[in-house]
Amino acid sequence: MTGRDTGVCQATARVAGNAPAAAYRHLTLDAPGIAQLAQPGQFVALTVGGPTSALLLRRSFSIHRVDPAAGTVEIVVSDAGPGTAWITRLDDGESVDIVGPLGRGFTLPDAPGAAVLIGGGYGSAPMFWLANVLRENGFAIHHVLGAASADRLFGAELADPADELIVTTDDGSQGERGWVSDPLPGLLERTGAKAVYACGPMGMLRAVTEIATAHGARAEVAVEEAMACGIGVCMTCVLPVVGADGVTRMSRSCVDGPIFDATTVRWDAVAGGRVAVPADCLGAPR
């Protein structure tokens, strides 16, 4: 319905593929408008269950990759609750309402060098596309993929042979036993990488931020806050973020994110599945 003008499309997408991928489903959707516009790190939002559904809100998914020529958008979906259960069961040929691309994607450092891309669980979904773009721009890519167990790892086979690939699992069922953040200090020292990209749970992002900062690297993180609208109108998806002026604001992760410069996120406010308003935030209750 909308075109390049506004940078966003709403469309009824046909499901062109739904295949298993580790513990997840890898969906391919016909959405040419979105395929043409999207950049790595952006996401799409899908409705759930058709017109008689009791689930009103869209579900958000990182874009795994797009094929502008074929007009397809791919996502990797974990069956985590009733909404994703419905989406993972979509059959080829069925259709689903999709809005995208949404949010700000990853940004590219000015000067090439080594880049470390870290994905936890399905958080690795956007990383291979990002790797391609970085590689085309002269970066050397080092992937770190982690998950609780081997079945929750996504995409190890998608890494380019030219790239380094490190795999970790909490239970040691594949790769090194431990967290994705464990190999990070050594990797940053060894490669001298100054660009780090991470997508995964909050705890992981925070750890990555601390390690990257300690090594003088700049990290960009993809956050996953619960979103009612995904398009910037509801204010549910906020996170305290420090602006260029040094002031902390409750920023919408759907339009100001989901990719944030890691050091601007007020990790101190994040705890136990909740995010508090820091006392020094603009407009904090007195």
Ligand X SMILES: Cc1cc2nc3c(=O)[nH]c(=O)nc-3n(C[C@H](O)[C@H](O)[C@H](O)COP(=O)(O)OP(=O)(O)OC[C@H]3O[C@@H](n4cnc5c(N)ncnc54)[C@H](O)[C@@H]3O)c2cc1C
Beta-ladder partners of 176 = 168
How far is C-alpha 129 from the chain's CA centre?
A: 11
Distance CA 21, CA 145 (A): 15
Distance CA 176, CA 191 (A): 19
Q: Which is nearer to its own copies, 81 or 203 (CB)?
A: 81
Residues whose CB falls within 8 Å of the CB of residue 242, separated by 6 or more in sequence, listed in order: 248, 263, 264, 265, 266
Contact between 5 and another protein by CB under 8 A: the answer reads: yes
How far is C-alpha 150 from the chain's CA centre?
A: 20
Contact between 6 and its own copies by CB under 8 A: the answer reads: no
| Collapsed DSSP state (helix, strand, coil) of residue 218 | strand
Contact between 249 and ligand FES by CB under 6 A: the answer reads: no
Partner that binds at residue 282, options another protein, ligand FES, its own copies, none, CB closer than 5 to 8 Å by kind: another protein
CB of 233 to ligand FES, least distance (A): 6
Contact between 12 and another protein by CB under 8 A: the answer reads: no
Identify whether the C-beta of residue 201 lies closer than 8 Å to the C-beta of residue 120: yes
Identify whether the C-beta of residue 220 lies closer than 8 Å to the C-beta of residue 259: yes
Enter the tokens of residue 272.
Answer: 């136990």
Distance CA 144, CA 125 (A): 12
Identify whether the C-beta of residue 115 lies closer than 8 Å to the C-beta of residue 196: yes
Q: Which is nearer to ligand FES, 230 or 240 (CB)?
A: 230
**Among 36, 71, 82, 178, interactor with its own copies by CB under 8 A:** 82
Pairing of strands 238-242, 218-222: unpaired
Identify whether the C-beta of residue 168 lies closer than 8 Å to the C-beta of residue 176: yes
Would you say 61 is a known binding-site residue? yes
Partner that binds at residue 235, options another protein, ligand X, its own copies, none, CB closer than 5 to 8 Å by kind: another protein
**Among 26, 59, 143, 206, interactor with ligand X by CB under 6 A:** 59
Partner that binds at residue 61, options ligand FES, another protein, ligand X, none, CB closer than 5 to 8 Å by kind: ligand X
CB of 125 to ligand X, least distance (A): 5
Partner that binds at residue 53, options ligand X, its own copies, ligand FES, none, CB closer than 5 to 8 Å by kind: its own copies
Radius of gyration for the chain, computed over Cα atoms and rounded to the nearest angstrom: 18
Beta-ladder partners of 72 = 30, 67
Contact between 113 and ligand FES by CB under 6 A: the answer reads: no
**Among 8, 13, 40, 43, interactor with ligand X by CB under 6 A:** 43
Partner that binds at residue 49, options another protein, its own copies, ligand X, none, CB closer than 5 to 8 Å by kind: its own copies
Identify whether the C-beta of residue 218 lies closer than 8 Å to the C-beta of residue 194: yes
**Which window, 78-86, 93-101, 221-229, 252-260, contacts its own copies (CB under 8 A)?**
78-86
Residues found near ligand FES in the complex (CB under 6 A): 227-230, 232-237, 252, 254
The binding site for its own copies (CB under 8 A) comprises 48-49, 51-55, 82-83, 86
Q: For binding to another protein (CB under 8 A), which residues are involved?
A: 1-3, 5-8, 10, 37, 39-42, 47, 54-58, 97, 99, 101-110, 218, 225-226, 228-239, 249-250, 255, 269, 272-277, 281-285
